[in-house]
Amino acid sequence: MSVIKKHFIRLALIMLTVVSAHSMASAQTDQVEGLWYNDIKSAKIQITKANDGKFYGKVVWLKEPLKNGKPKVDELNQDEKLRSRPRLGLPVLAGFVKDGADKYTDGTIYDPNNGKTYSCKMTYKGKMLAIRGYVGISLFGRTTTWTRSE
């Protein structure tokens, strides 16, 4: 084999390795990313990591998507302008930062059942996600457990 051919093959292998390593790294997802059932399994929430490095979640499935024959809307929102937005696709988790191996903090959770937004933290527990919404300090709050949707 000529020297040029050997260098070309070597360069091609290096390029292939770099491209493969880059695609594998970008394909990795965080443990909380994916589909989760809420505590009463009436909705599925898709959690994703955004370009800002924070985690967000939106409703992607509702057990009962209709009310009086029409798609459910965010009718209890405290902001009157938002009351007509559909519940399907509704953002409910926002701004979570990974804090250690299993904790996610500094986020908020929106409860469409009462139209209020709370401070929130999440703790990953395998196929479960402990969601703690609170006002002020986490001592004054409530924890619900979401389960992974397979």
Burial of residue 96, with CB atoms counted within 10 A of its CB: 0-12 exposed, 13-18 middle, 19 or more buried: buried
pTM, two decimal places: 0.80
Per-residue pLDDT tens over the stretch 26-71: 457 899 999 999 999 999 999 999 999 999 999 999 999 999 999 9
Nearest to 65 by CA among 44, 82, 46: 44
> What is the extent of the structural domain holding 37?
31-148
Please check whether residues 85 and 16 belong to one and the same domain: no
- Kindly state whether residues 20 and 43 are assigned to the same domain: no
Q: How many structural domains is the chain composed of?
A: 2
**AA identity, residue 135:** V
Q: Do 128 and 150 meet the contact criterion of CB atoms below 8 Å apart? A: no
Give the largest Cα separation in the chain, rounded.
77
